[in-house]
Structure 1
Amino acid sequence: MTTIIDTRVQTTARARHVGTAAVVRWEVRKLAHQWRAKAVLLGALLGPIPVVFIIHGQSRPPKDTLFGRFATENGFALALLILGFAAQWVLPLLTAIVAGDIFASEDQHGTWKTVLTRSTSRGRIFWAKTLASVLFAIVTLAVLAASTITSSVLIAGNAPLTGLSGQQVAPGDALALVSASWASMLPGMLAFTCLAILLSVWSRNPAAGIAAPVVIGMVMQLVGALGGVEPIRPFLLSTGFEAWHGLLTDPRYTRPLLEGAVTSAGWCLVTLALAYLTLRRRDITGG
């Protein structure tokens, strides 16, 4: 009798595991067929190419920006220049286009009741949609970084990079540092993904879920640039987007990267908890 009960428990556990994985696969498949997700990935792949051509073709380099002085003659500097610009609003926008819509679209199309009657729970759906959004953010950042670095090096060359301390960085090391600088955007990008998820669940409006994270990111940039805000600056997501500067100095300092990752993790935990509770408590009767 005990053996039969144990077998049933194990079978139920396996069924639940398969059911959760199936929901995740379904959400990923839905994203793969959405024109919006395809457009973002295509833009991340092809968008940097004309930007690189335009900056490289300028008669005067943008000397008033970080690494702008060398952007027209060094591909690594050009990739870092674009990174500084992308961190301001491009990265929050790219991830919010999907994460800000992934829950609100169910409200917009009135499909919540249909989704919840397919032998699954709100919790599974929430985490499946969250994982799909996170995976999309990771892929988007990887595609954007690879396209930017590759096109920059091919068009502007791979001469040694002049770091922020005036040191010369060999091309091989420069490629590794530029790649690491782009990779350091991931914690902040995931935090904006979770923020977009919260706004998507709370507002039930795709426009709000997409636009609000971008506006919040721009406000953080402006607040961080003001004087007298040192006590709150470490808690702004925009501060973590600037932490890669420490990789390009001699000696390098990585503490801002760690602090930015911790701040982003905190934003992720808080926003996802609020989003989860909001969805769990929602009375879904109309769709």
Structure 2
Amino acid sequence: MTAAVAGAPVAGGGAVSVPRAYRFELVKLVAQWRVRLLVLACWLAPALFVAAVSRQTSLPVDTLFGRWMNATGWAGPLVMLGFAGTYALPLLTSVVAGDVFASEDRLGTWRHLLVAVRSTRRIFVAKALASLTVILVLVAGMAVSAVAGGVVAVGDRPLVGLDGHLLGPADAAGRVLLAWVCVLAPTLALAAVGLLGSVVGGRSPMGLLLPAVVALAMALAQTLPLPVALRLALPTWTFVAWNGLFATPAQLGPLGIGIGVSLGWALVATTLAYWLFVRRDFTNSAHDGAGRRAVTVGALPLAALLAVTAGTIAVATPATGSGIGPDKVQQSVATAFAHLYRLQTGQLNRPDVPEAQLAATAACTKGDGLVAAEGPGNDWRCVVSWHLPGVEATGSAVYQLDVTSDGRYVADGDGPKEVNGYFQVRTPAGDQPNPLWQFDGNVELLSSTPKG
């Protein structure tokens, strides 16, 4: 019966080809009600969520790009991407890849599958490829759905980047698409961890739990003041590093390292899973996972990979410590303020002043100057100064900054009220959000010197 489903019996007892085994495994996955439900949810829920939130007056301003959701349709997919990297993608990899081998143990179907396919190597490749296919369909569904919901609900409008630059619709669309493509790397890493857990765990739910637990542990680690090298050595760093695509010029260094680390984890974890699987004794019906070998063959190589990667990054990159210092914060705040000041000037129909003439600078302290101006914290304070042509007096504005460990910050205006005191400005076209009231920014952790 099983041989007939997997493919016609092979004359001469030959093994079933990988494409035929792959199609069989793909059908088995798609036939599961939970996978079908996930496909439906990923292709519909993001569009409904983005469209509904974009129509609200109260926006998720504590989420990156959330404050721009009712201004451009390209903000919604980025809000969804932030949510997906933290919660959705680890859960998807757990459900799909984390159970693909363990399900055969629970159902006791390994003997039938081996009789049909006649090759443990082909079985592993087919199951891994089927899992990858389903995961790609789910991620693509989330991206397409979120973009459709945002563009239909709000429109194809320019997007304000993390340094205040206004990105045109075409530029914003390209960067949004690239950001979603980039997070495929850490998703593959978690999927490979799921495959490893599924092979090692046997009948236990280890594979289902492992990707989610690993992602949660690394997300918690990202909130700690870790050294830059260790932070970038975590395979989930790319779930944060895509933010650098929305600065001008794009911060590609940390993103490239994150993608490389994620792909390295995917390769190592998949290789370990393959090595364990092809050496398994399928004649033992009482087999229940790798047992003690789970630590020596599974966990220790990944821990060693983390240590080697962190050491390599520490040697190869110039940044030390947290990577967050006064020069970087001041340069980032001044640059973002200058671009957003021009945006506000356009709203008010005032004469445009280029950034070079504004000559915006920022002076930042931490903890009222009682502690070293270094590292994350919500006690950063910056005074921004700028000059207008023909005006002798120097303009100034105060911002309170909450800088997180990954370099992202929220600048909250603290006066004067004419510049950043209100969340809306009165324009000839009616009240509009004040871009200088609050804004998001990003400090490049690997940059050794501020950008000019």
Normalised by the length of structure 1, the TM-score is 0.89
Q: 1:128 — aligned with what?
A: 126
Matches within 5 A, 1:11-160: 19-160=17-158
- 1:204 partnered with 2:169: no
Q: Structure 1 residue 194: deviation in Å?
A: 0.7
Query: Is 1:227 paired with 2:255?
Result: no
Preserved CA contact (<8 Å) 1:66 1:84 = yes
- 2 CA distance for matches of 1:242 and 1:119? 41
Structure 1: 5+ residue stretches without partners: 1-11
Structure 2 residue 260 is the aligned partner of structure 1 residue 256: no
Larger Rg computed on CA atoms = 2
CA apart distance, 1:257: 2.6
Q: Any conservation in 1 of the 2:43–2:142 contact (CA below 8 Å)?
A: yes
Paired residue total = 273
The equivalent residue for 1:286 is: 285
The structure with the largest helix share of the pair is 1
Question: What residue in structure 2 maps to residue 184 of structure 1?
Answer: 182
Of 245, 261, 267, 1:269 maps to: 267
Percent pairwise identity: 38
Cα drift, residue 50 of structure 1:
3.0
How far residue 189 of structure 1 moved from its aligned partner, in angstroms, is: 0.8
Q: Is the 8 A contact 1:105 1:206 kept in 2?
A: no
Contact 1:95 1:136 in 2 (8 A): no
Which structure has the higher relative contact order (CA within 8 Å, separation 6+)? 1
Q: What does the per-residue CA deviation read over 1:63-119, in whole Å, with 9 as the maximum and x for residues that have no partner?
A: 222112112332111211111111112111112211111100000100111111124
Instruction: Output the CA distance in 2 between the equivalents of 1:50 and 1:207.
Output: 32
Name which of 208, 211, 214 aligns with 1:213. Answer: 211
- Does the 8 Å contact 2:48/2:149 carry over to 1? no
Q: Which amino acid aligns with 2:194?
A: A
Q: Amino acid of the residue matched to residue 274 of structure 2? A: Y
For residues 240-278 of structure 1, what are the alpha-carbon distances to aligned partners after superposition, in whole Å with 9 as ceiling and x for unaligned?
112211211111122223212211121112211221122
Counterpart of 1:7? none
How far apart are residue 60 of structure 1 and its match?
Answer: 2.2
Q: Which residue of 2 aligns with 1:8?
A: none
Amino acid across the alignment from 1:259 = I
Query: Equivalent residue for 2:191?
Result: 193
Where structure 2 has 5 or more consecutive residues not aligned to the other structure, the ranges are 1-10, 287-452
Moved more, 111-120 or 277-286: 277-286
Query: Structure 1 segments of 4 or more deviating over 4 A?
Result: none
1:56 Cα shift? 1.9
Task: Rate the CA distance shift 1:207–1:51 in 2: closer, same or farther, 3 A.
Answer: farther
- Give the superposition deviation at 1:61: 2.0
1:41: Cα distance to partner? 0.7
Q: Contact between 1:101 and 1:205, CA under 8 Å: does it hold in 2?
A: no
**Structure 2 vs 1, CA of residues 94 and 168 (structure 1 numbering), >3 Å: closer, same or farther?**
same
For 1:167-178, what aligned pairs fall within 5 Å after superposition? 167-178=165-176
User: Separation in 2 of the partners of 1:261 and 1:206?
Assistant: 31
The 2-side partners of 1:205 and 1:161 are apart by 48
Distance in 1, Cα, partners of 2:112 & 2:143: 38
Conserved? CA contact 1:223–1:229, under 8 Å: no
**8 Å contact 2:93–2:211 — kept in the other structure?**
no
The one-letter amino acid paired with 1:241 is: F
Give the Cα–Cα distance (whole angstroms) in 1 for the partners of residues 241 and 52 of structure 2. Answer: 27
- Matching residue of 1:238: 236
